[in-house]
Amino acid sequence: MATTINAFPPVHAFNSSRSWVLAIIALIHLGFFWALTSGLARSVISDLHHVTAAFVVESPPKQTPPPPQRIDDPIVQSVYVPDVPLPPTVSDQQDTAPRIVSTVAREQPPIGMPSEPVRPAPVEVGPQIDPRRGLSEPLYPPAVIRSGFEGTVILSVQVLENGRVGEVRLERSSGHAKLDESAMREAKRWKLIPGTRDGVPVVLWRQIPITFRLEGQR
């Protein structure tokens, strides 16, 4: 007797399974609706958003650089150099040479001996007019007298060792050439007492004024 096996479940079994599925779906919708009204779904969605954002913003992992390799210090080989004295240079020879400083010692008189006496300054006496002879008066030019001109001439005369006058210089003019010439011409005829230095006659200069006045000349 042949047995027939159906490839599909019976219709009542399929309907029963479908009813259960619909019931479960309805329960899920009810639960989701309740979650929306109670705020649970919003918190879950918010958490999902946060998690997603965290994954998006996350930066790539930092690569740790490899540790620096240790470099061993180079091995320094010491070389022995014997101490050999170097020949002295020219500058060293000059520096080491003894320096001779020449000093001039001032001669000082021995202690207890008197020093040389200080010479006094020479005594100088200028030329003098001999009171016994005096000085001859110069000529008063007639033309100057008629013009009524007066004045004083200052002469510088060189008196020689014998008292005679050597040179005559005009130190200050009287203001009239005729009077100046007359005074210088007469001064060369003078003879004075010569000047002395330590009692010895010497050549010296002396200034002598000569005044021209019209008193008694008119």
Mean pLDDT estimate for the chain: 73
The arithmetic mean of pLDDT across residues 6-26, rounded, is 63
CA distance linking residue 204 with residue 160, whole number of Å: 7
Give the C-alpha separation, 153 to 169, whole Å: 11
124-125 β-sheet, strand order: 124-125, 195-197, 200-202
- Answer with the residue of higher pLDDT: 139 or 116: 139
Q: What is the pLDDT of residue 118?
A: 82
Check pLDDT > 50 for residue 165: yes
- Rounded to an integer, the average pLDDT of 82-87 is 46
The pLDDT value given to residue 55? 32
What is the Cβ-side half-sphere exposure of residue 82, based on CA atoms within 13 angstroms? 1
Rounded CA separation 174/154 (Å): 8
Is the pLDDT at 132 greater than 60, yes or no?
yes
Distances (CA, A) of 58 to 52, 55, 62, 65, 173: 10, 5, 11, 20, 124
In this prediction, residue 190 carries a pLDDT of 97
Region 99-113 average pLDDT: 57
Q: Is the pLDDT of residue 48 over 50?
A: no
The Cα 75–Cα 174 span in angstroms is 113
How large is the average pLDDT for residues 128-149?
94
